[in-house]
Copies of this chain bind each other. A is one copy, B any other.
Amino acid sequence: MSESLNIAVIPGDGIGPEVISEAVKVLKKAVEGTGKQLELTDYKLGAEHWLATGETLPEETLAALRTHDAILFGAVGAAPGDTSIPSGLIERELLLKLRFSLDHFVNLRPSKLYPGVPSPLADPGEIDFIVVREGTEGPYVGNGGVLRAGTPHEIATEVSINTSHGVERVVRDAFRRANDRERKHVTLVHKHNVLVFAGHLWRRTVEAVAPEFPEVTHDYLHVDAATIFMTTNPSRFDVIVTDNLFGDILTDQAGAITGGIGLAASGNINMDRTAPSMFEPVHGSAPDIAGQQKADPTAAILSAALLLDHVGLSEAARRVEAAVESDIASRDEMTDPRTTAEIGDAILAALA
């Protein structure tokens, strides 16, 4: 284990810099006394950077990012109505390019309803599950095209690509995580009655991997049914494993039922450690509230805890989570008048 912990920080756009600056405060504090020397390097990337320079993610920057132990990522993207940036450009050429280039095959998104947090569900029960979303293939590969664009005969295709290599590693990861949890249950979510080719690959893979984990049970849900259970009985979920697109949809819904994506953390993890993993709040750049100290930095701080876990500082990660929990328990969500920095400071104080 090296003495230094070398973290790349990409604050990004909108509320990204605000929430990341709180996460960095907490990260610094959490690393104190672990024997590690935290070194942070800021990278200016995102929509604003593109507007200023025309760069999304230059090869040299990507190469530099590879030298770090992990990446802490804020949020990127222009305001929805902003037409000065081609739609989706920053998402694809920066965020997805990072996930794909650094082989972040496990997109890990824990969902927990913390005590004291009001859920929009009338009777949420206990919610504590993780979604293991595949991060490097599926409908996200950018494969497809357009024929006769703009004419009455236009045809546009999107190709979802799924490989046994890609599916197996993420399914095995889900079972491994389930094995470490109390309930030890994996739910595969797909739509195999319609998406037969990909669906059968996913199902067969689950059946092939399951025997390696004799204590882990598993079941299957179509994605449409999964959104129903997410509403009526989210306690039924322990570990969900699913593809890139279904995972995108379900984790936003999961964020909503656990009190909003202001609390939802995520890790884009390369479990083979051939490249640095990246930790980011599930929320976006929220340009409408940017620069006003209105954003909740909790998701970014919890993402920093996932980062600590990944780099082997699990004890520090647990302390950050406990600090967040104690802060959340003391909130009056309806009237929490605190600024972004004040929430960060409170969590920092709870950590000390």
Contact = CB atoms under 8 A, between A and B. Distances in A.
Interface in A11-50: none
Contact of A231 (B87, B146, B168, B231): B231
A227 interface: yes
Contacts of A228: 252-253, 255-256, 261
A164 interface: yes
A164 B139 contact: no
Interface stretch (A176-184, A197-205, A310-318): A197-205
B88 A146 contact: no
Contacts of A122: 118-122
Given A80-B220, A231-B231, A252-B228, A197 B162 contact: no
A150 interface: yes
Contact of A249 (B92, B153, B249): B249
A335 interface: no
Nearest to A253: B227
B158 A159 contact: yes
Interface string A187-225: 000011111111111011000000000000000100111
A145 interface: yes
Nearest to A247: B224
A223 B231 CA distance: 16
A144 interface: yes
A248 B122 CA distance: 24
A116 to B, nearest CB: 15
B256 A194 contact: no
Contact of A92 (B193, B245, B261): B193
A224 B248 contact: yes
B194 A96 contact: yes
A157 B256 contact: no
Contacts of A261: 228
A31 to B, nearest CB: 33
Nearest to A201: B156
Contact of A156 (B96, B119, B200, B255): B200
A140 B160 CA distance: 12
A60 B262 CA distance: 56
Nearest to A166: B155
A124 to B, nearest CB: 9
Across the A-B interface, the 3 shortest Cβ-Cβ residue pairs: A88-B193, A224-B252, A231-B256
14 contacts: A87-B200, A88-B194, A118-B122, A120-B123, A146-B197, A153-B163, A156-B198, A157-B162, A159-B160, A194-B248, A223-B249, A224-B252, A228-B256, A228-B261
Given A88-B193, A146-B200, A157-B198, 15 more contacts: A88-B194, A88-B196, A142-B196, A154-B163, A154-B164, A157-B160, A157-B197, A158-B162, A159-B160, A224-B249, A224-B251, A224-B252, A227-B250, A228-B261, A249-B249
